[in-house]
Amino acid sequence: MPAVSKGDGMRGLAVFISDIRNCKSKEAEIKRINKELANIRSKFKGDKALDGYSKKKYVCKLLFIFLLGHDIDFGHMEAVNLLSSNKYTEKQIGYLFISVLVNSNSELIRLINNAIKNDLSSRNPTFMCLALHCIANVGSREMAEAFAGEIPRILVAGDTMDSVKQSAALCLLRLYRTSPDLVLMGEWTSRVVHLLNDQHMGVVTAAISLITCLSQKNPEEFKTCVSLAVSRLSRIVSSASTDLQDYTYYFVPAPWLSCKLLRLLQCYPPPEDGAVKGRLVECLETILNKAQEPPKSKKVQHSNAKNAILFEAIALIIHYDSEPNLLVRACNQLGQFLQHRETNLRYLALESMCTLASSEFSHEAVKTHIETVINALKTERDVSVRQRAADLLYAMCDRSNAKQIVAEMLSYLETADYSIREEMVLKVAILAEKYAVDYSWYVDTILNLIRIAGDYVSEEVWYRVIQIVINRDDVQGYAAKTVFEALQAPACHENMVKVGGYILGEFGNLIAGDPRSSPLVQFNLLHSKFHLCSVPTRALLLSAYIKFINLFPETKPTIQEVLRCDSQIRNSDVELQQRAVEYLKLSSIASTDVLATVLEEMPPFPERESSILAKLKKKKGPGAVSGNELEEGKREGGELNGAGERPGDSSAIGASNASTPSPSADLLGLRSAAPVSAAPPSAGSLLVDVFSEAGPAAPAAGANDDGFLRDLEPPTESSDSLLAEGPGDSDSAPPSVVSEDPAPPLPESDELLNKFVCKNNGVLFENQLLQIGVKSEYRQNLGRMYLFYGNKTSVQFVNFTTTVSCPGELQSQLNVQLKPVDPLVEGGAQVQQVINIECLTVFSDAPLLNIKFRYGGALQNLTLKLPVAINKFFQPTEMSSHDFFQRWKQLSQPQQEAQKIFKANHAMDTEVLKAKLLGLGTALLEKVDPNPDNFVCAGVIQTKAQQVGCLLRLEPNAQAQMYRLTLRSSKDTVAKRLCELLAEQF
């Protein structure tokens, strides 16, 4: 508001406001307001017209009353009248009232829009500005509808004043943010971009905000802005501090504009044009040079402005990630800031360095600052800065400095703030695992971790220790000793007890020779913790006890005594009671041989393979693992449990134990430990399991599959590879072809596809970086598939794009629509994508899914087959025996039949077969075939064009372990295709 001059003072308003201020109580204030409102009402109602001044005064009073929190339901008309006044102050108050009070559904909106339009077309720049400000302040959809076409014209018109241009650019930005669909730049694009060349710095500053926002949405259209921005930037950077006069802020030329230019450039990849690039690099170098110069002023504003530009420049350098020289220089510059006395600067430096550390060029340079960073972690006062320091340590960690960093982080953990402890624990665990060369070190580290911050140690972390200890013979003795020592602390965390129980149960014998840790001492030590633990831990300890009986027969009476006592054998918890009873019986009935077999040492865990991943790798195995198999695995698990419930039947346990390793895992680990065997926490375990249905089944099935896997695993997949290699490590980099074209489909994608013939959900693909899960549902000829992309790393994927292509004639057979997916996938996050599929006619091939993204600068490109086969569109048909054979005979032409005789890949279990056939989508017809062993199915494939009936007959031959599969269909290709698909399944 301009300074209140004498004639313009609105004394009435001032008096009113001071009256209100002087009110002693709320009641008095309300009384005064009521009086004033009545006065204004009578004035507005009055027959004689009010002059502009009083109208303005009363509208002002209303506005004030409204801002005090009272409802105003009149006076809008008067405010609108003010808009058409010729006096600036009156117009201004009118616009103020409108932008504060008028809601979009008001009937006055037409009048208001009209007034705004008049002002926009007036020649008076102040009026135009007022109108633009009003549009921006209201910013509603209606406003956008009315003026989105008008404002770009004002913005680029040659005769528009500079100040109006500024307002227009910002107004347009606001409209674009609220309703981007209404602001269509189209023809204006190039002229808007050329505003970057405008003489007036203010216009450029305003325009660049608009351009940045627009180019983020459609980068292609605004590509030309890069070279303009670079030249503008270079002009600013090279100008002397006095050149820009008004736009020099504490000796820094146009700092805001420079920051915005640098930020705009961050929307684009490095310029391809050599000259432009050279100029830009020169600019960046100048900025870095300037940072070295002594400050021209001691004022904080000067250094703030300078550093703002510097940090934006560094962000740009990191974004380009292609200039090693600049990266290193940036890193050194940040290194200086690390010891700056300004806390904000230290924070920013640490934050920027974090990103620098992930670049291959500057990683080494970042590492030189390790001491400073560690110091910051220890001595920094501000917790947020300490957090950044911890982040940076994590980011700069590699094989060479892992020990030092992990040690520092551990020692810091003892004093760390509770808010960041959990994160720290996870980081330490990941680093220790990632860069472990010496396993005793790893074990030490994790045990320390549990000791220091047990509450924050998640299940996965201690699962992982046990897994590694079990798999590494050389570390077992050491682990047992360390754990034993750790347990001697008077108070130790429950997680420690879990690890201790498990490890002593397995490897207690390795330290039993020492009289200080004789079996009985070990047992007493464990048992002293027993009563303080929760039920799952107690269950685990009970399992450890039975293992003790096997390891040390001399402890048998003691342990049996413990198991026999009422608090175990009559425990109110079913799990504990069952274990106590079973173990007691097992120990008293079974002979030592049987006991030794049953309670054998845990077999090594399948290295690093999660059950899901193992299945993926197992395509050379007998057919694909289907959802039915998962079911089967689950049921098997149930049976095993059932066997366990009959304690007398120990031979059954023994037998099953001998056949597969999983029961023993199940016996010892039981429920709490089962996931250990099933899902080793690789980096992927950070991901959320999306397969809620498969979830409970997975561990059991996984355990089962692991048995296969160990035999099938090529020897090269040895224990060394269990540690997840850093994603940046080149030797373990995923199969990536750095090119913009879609990569050829993975060789195994066909087999991936087979996996999904009989099931709709599962993991489609997994490597070190990415996990893709599928969930799909089909109805008639329509299908919907959900793809879940999980980022297994801690670094975000950028430019994440997916496309689906239908090669060849598939294009006309299948209609696939892909919903767009967010181009940014945060580390550890998961994004979901929906694919709609319409089956137009019968098809045989599968559509291709191409995924591209940038991970740490490198382009990843992979192509998979979408698990869509013709059988997904089956509708089951129930029919009687008579009908079936009648139809069967109708389809008797040779081309309508497809037959295949093949050897069984899996065990011939009737139930499994049934489940698979149901999973196929057809109806399983009971009591149709005269031979009860045979399976008969019927279904109709629904496509948009036609419906294809299909009959199936599967004749298993148990003696020869062979199947005969016969398919008849009204369309010959369908029968053939289905026959091919199915032959792989049994």
Partner 1 sequence: MIGGLFIYNHKGEVLISRVYRDDIGRNAVDAFRVNVIHARQQVRSPVTNIARTSFFHVKRSNIWLAAVTKQNVNAAMVFEFLYKMCDVMTAYFGKISEENIKNNFVLIYELLDEILDFGYPQNSETGALKTFITQQGIKSQLQTKEEQSQITSQVTGQIGWRREGIKYRRNELFLDVLESVNLLMSPQGQVLSAHVSGRVVMKSYLSGMPECKFGMNDKIVIDKQGKGGTTDEAGKSELGGSSGKQSIAIDDCTFHQCVRLSKFDSERSISFIPPDGEYELMRYRTTKDIILPFRVIPLVREVGRTKLEVKVVIKSNFKPSLLAQKIEVRIPTPLNTSGVQVICMKGKAKYKASENAIVWKIKRMAGMKESQISAEIELLPTNDKKKWARPPISMNFEVPFAPSGLKVRYLKVFEPKLNYSDHDVIKWVRYIGRSGIYETRC
* DSSP three-state, residue 610: coil
CB of 71 to partner 1, least distance (A): 8
Judged by beta carbon, residue 30 or residue 737, the one nearer partner 1 is 30
Contacts of 303 (CB under 8 A, 6+ apart): 295, 342
In the complex, the smallest distance separating the C-beta of residue 192 from partner 1, rounded to whole angstroms, is 39
Task: Indicate whether 41 belongs to the interface with partner 1 (CB under 8 A).
Answer: yes
Q: Is 31 near partner 1 (CB under 8 A)? A: yes
Instruction: Write down the least CB distance from residue 437 to partner 1, Å.
Output: 56
Binding-residue pattern over the window 74 to 93 for partner 1, x denoting contact by CB under 8 A: x-x-----------------
In the complex, least distance from residue 74 CB atom to partner 1, rounded to whole angstroms: 5
Find the Cα–Cα–Cα–Cα dihedral 48, 52, 58, 60, rounded to 10°: 170
Among residues 36 and 984, whose Cβ is nearest to partner 1?
36
Which residue type is seen at 186? G
Side chain identity at residue 640, one-letter code: L
Burial class of residue 417 in the structure, from the number of CB atoms within 10 Å of its CB (0-12 exposed, 13-18 middle, 19+ buried): exposed
Nearest to 952 by CA among 907, 985, 911, 904: 985
**What is the smallest separation between the CB atom of 75 and partner 1, expressed in angstroms?**
9
Provide the H-helix boundaries in 531-661: 535-551, 556-564, 566-569, 574-589, 592-598, 611-617, 627-645, 650-659
Least distance between partner 1 and beta carbon 31 (Å): 4
Find the binding residues for partner 1 in span 313-372 (CB under 8 A): none
Query: Interacting stretch for partner 1, rule CB under 8 A, among 31-39, 182-190, 456-464, 537-545?
Result: 31-39
Do 507 and 473 contact (CB within 8 A), yes or no? no
Q: How far apart are CA 667 and CA 645, in angstroms?
A: 11
Binding segment for partner 1 among 28-36, 214-222, 264-272, 908-916 (CB under 8 A)? 28-36
Least distance in angstroms from the C-beta of 79 to partner 1: 12
Annotated binding residue 12: yes
Nearest to 430 by CA among 38, 725, 29: 725
Provide the token pair at 147. 């003026």
Can residue 37 be called a binding residue for partner 1 (CB under 8 A)?
yes
Residue 40 C-beta: closest distance to partner 1, Å: 9
How many chain residues interact with partner 1 (CB under 8 A)? 20
Which residue spans within 866-960 are E strands per DSSP? 874-876, 897-903, 923-925, 935-942, 947-957
Largest CA distance in the chain: 114
251-255 contacts, C-beta under 8 A, 24 or more apart:
251/296, 251/297, 251/302, 252/302, 252/305, 252/306, 252/309, 254/201, 254/205, 255/305, 255/306, 255/308, 255/309
Q: How far is the CB of 36 from partner 1 (least distance, A)?
A: 8
| 615 has binding-site annotation | no
Six-digit token pair at 28?
Answer: 């008095």
Q: Is 38 in the site for partner 1 (CB under 8 A)?
A: yes
Q: Distance (Å, rounded) from C-alpha 603 to C-alpha 664?
A: 9
Asked if 279 interacts with partner 1 (CB under 8 A), we say no
- Does 55 help bind partner 1 (rule: CB under 8 A)? no
- The footprint of partner 1 on residues 57-76 (CB under 8 A) is 71, 73-74, 76
Annotated ligand binding at 521? The verdict is no
User: Secondary structure of the chain: what % helix, strand, coil (to 5)?
Assistant: 60, 10, 30
Among candidate residues 833, 779, 767, 776, the one with its CA nearest the CA of residue 802:
833
At position 921, the amino acid (one-letter code) is: G
5 versus 25: smaller Cβ distance to partner 1: 25
Burial status of residue 572 (CB atoms within 10 A of its CB: 0-12, 13-18, 19 or more): exposed
The answer on whether 43 is annotated among ligand-binding residues is yes
Q: Determine the interface stretch with partner 1 among 27-35, 346-354, 756-764, 978-986 (rule: CB under 8 A).
A: 27-35
Contacting residue, 5, 42, 242, 716, with partner 1 by CB under 8 A:
42
The one segment of 24-32, 131-139, 263-271, 312-320 that binds partner 1 by CB under 8 A? 24-32
Tell me: is residue 53 an annotated ligand-binding position: yes
Shortest Cβ 66–partner 1 spacing (Å): 13
Q: State in angstroms the smallest separation of the CB of 235 from partner 1.
A: 54
* Nearer of residues 78 and 609 to partner 1, judged by Cβ: 78
Collapse the DSSP code of 343 into the 3-class scheme (helix H, G, I; strand E, B; otherwise coil) and give the result: helix
- Tell me phi and psi for residue 30, to 5 degrees: -65, -40
Q: Out of 21, 45, 48, 889, which residue is the one contacting partner 1 (CB under 8 A)?
A: 45
Nearer to partner 1, 77 or 737 (CB): 77
Nearest to partner 1 of 35, 378 (CB atom)? 35
Q: Does 22 bind partner 1 (CB under 8 A)?
A: no
User: Does residue 779 bind partner 1 (CB under 8 A)?
Assistant: no
| Residue 928 annotated as part of some ligand binding site | no
Considering only 33-41, 385-393, 410-418, 847-855, which stretch makes contact with partner 1 by CB under 8 A? 33-41
Q: Min. distance of Cβ 355 from partner 1 in angstroms?
A: 44
User: Which DSSP string corresponds to 791-839?
Assistant: E-SSS-EEEEEEEEE--TTHHHHEEEEE----S-B-TT-EEEEEEEEEE
Out of 6, 21, 26, 123, the only residue in the binding site for partner 1 (CB under 8 A) is 26
Given candidates 12, 20, 32, 411, which one binds partner 1 under the rule CB under 8 A? 32
48 forms part of the interface with partner 1 (CB under 8 A): no
Binding of partner 1 by 47 (CB under 8 A): no
3-state SS string over 31-75? Answer: HHHHHHHHHHHHHHHCCCCCCHHHHHHHHHHHHHHHHCCCCCCCC
* Tokens 């049987």 belong to residue: 594
- CA-CA distance, 628 to 913, in Å (whole number)? 8
Q: Which of 106, 179, 832, 881 binds partner 1 (CB under 8 A)?
A: 106
To partner 1, the closest distance from the beta carbon of 37 in angstroms equals 8
- 134 among annotated binding-site residues: no
- In the chain, count H helices and then E strands: 43, 16
**Site residues for partner 1 per CB under 8 A:** 24-26, 31-32, 34-35, 37-39, 41-42, 44-45, 71, 73-74, 76, 106-107
What residue numbers does the annotated binding site cover? 11-12, 43, 53, 57-61
